[in-house]
Chain A
Amino acid sequence: MTTLDRTAALDALGTAQEAEPRDYWALLKPRVMSLVVFTALVGLAAAPTGVHPVVAFASILCIAVGAGASGALNMWWDADIDAVMARTQKRPVPSGRVTPEEAMGFGLGLSVIAVTMLAVFANFLAAGLLAFTIFFYAVIYTMWLKRSTPQNIVIGGAAGAFPPMIGWAVATGGVSVESILMFLVIFLWTPPHFWALALFRNEDYSKAGVPMLPVAAGDAATRKQIWLYTVVLAPISFAPAFTQIGGPIYLATAIWFNAAFIAAAWRVARRDEAASTADKHRAEKKMFGVSIVYLFALFCALGGEAILRAVIGDYAPWLVLF
């Protein structure tokens, strides 16, 4: 083969098909992974028992890789939907840079490594919870619920709610009321957060045939559900303030940000699709933004309480009711 032939053959192999490291990185859904790392870290830091920093780092890394692996499995299964939606068309599988089989192998391999190593670094409960989270996101949510029910986000949200519970289990080796409350806060926050997004990204989901609530039940029903979930979330989000992981800082943060979240949800709930289209979904976009800040602020406050307790000890024992 001459040099020219060889170059042509290499061109024909398609440089577009040869994935770069950043394509594998994209398969891990790094933005979702960063949220998982943050909430798992807070779950770990809030726990009453300390963990050696090296073990904590290794465990958080396993949780991050496990979350990334479930992202890769999601991209393998959803490549057909991703190819249709504008937001996801450039992902590595629909764009042809990574084959679906490769994405599946990558996801499965990393899942096994992450769960096994977490069992070695931390304990079997934390590893079991991580395995269940990956299974829940990849199989229960991605393969089953996402395409079959408008409640997909409600039940699928559990997958995103497990990381602080896993972090807590890494430190304590158990599950307790505090870790269940952290789970519930993310679990109840997920539907209003995603439905606010779905209200202004409705076309994408319709085109892909994903039965998100605005597509399946209509705009008005979605606004009502957003309001209901936000109202139910408020008392649950206050509860951690009265446990050993909470305190005055968390309580003040919860009061402030629940007020902002409820106000944003109320503005979305009281108007209709026509009003929303007229101002290019301003209130819906605002609520989506507020929801992100809301969760970030609550978990930052829990992290802040953990740091304060580590420095000055239990400074507000009178607030611990259960």
Chain B
Amino acid sequence: MPDPKEHELHKRRKGRNYALLAVLAGFVLLIFAVTIVKLGDAAGNPSAIAW
């Protein structure tokens, strides 16, 4: 008898959840990297930040 925990639906949802996790982690890293670069540009020169 097939175990419902192993159902195809769960596999697909798990795949989607992992994909979303990867996208969100990437987004956080991107924001972090751009922040470091922008703050680096502005070190000793706060007016260098355009926003």
A residues in contact (CB < 8 Å) with B: 3-4, 6-7, 10, 13, 15, 18-21, 24, 52, 54-55, 58, 61, 119-121, 123
Contacts and interface: CB of A to CB of B under 8 A. Distances in A.
B47 to A, nearest CB: 15
Interface of B is mostly: helix
A7 B6 CA distance: 10
B4 A20 contact: no
Given A18-B12, A55-B38, A120-B51, 9 more contacts: A3-B2, A3-B4, A10-B4, A10-B8, A15-B12, A19-B16, A24-B19, A58-B34, A119-B51
Interface of A is mostly: helix
12 contacts: A6-B4, A10-B4, A10-B7, A13-B9, A15-B8, A18-B12, A19-B12, A20-B12, A20-B15, A52-B37, A54-B34, A55-B37
A54 B37 contact: yes
B12 A52 contact: no
Interface of B: 1-4, 7-9, 12-13, 15-16, 19, 30, 33-34, 36-38, 41, 50-51
What are the 10 closest A-B residue pairs judged by CB atoms, nearest first? A21-B19, A6-B4, A15-B8, A54-B37, A18-B12, A10-B7, A10-B9, A54-B33, A58-B34, A52-B37
Contact of B30 (A13, A21, A61): A61
B43 to A, nearest CB: 13
A3 B9 contact: no
A7 B16 contact: no
A7 B2 contact: yes
A58 B4 contact: no
A21 B13 CA distance: 9
Contact of B16 (A10, A21, A54, A58): A21
A15 B11 CA distance: 10
B9 A58 contact: no
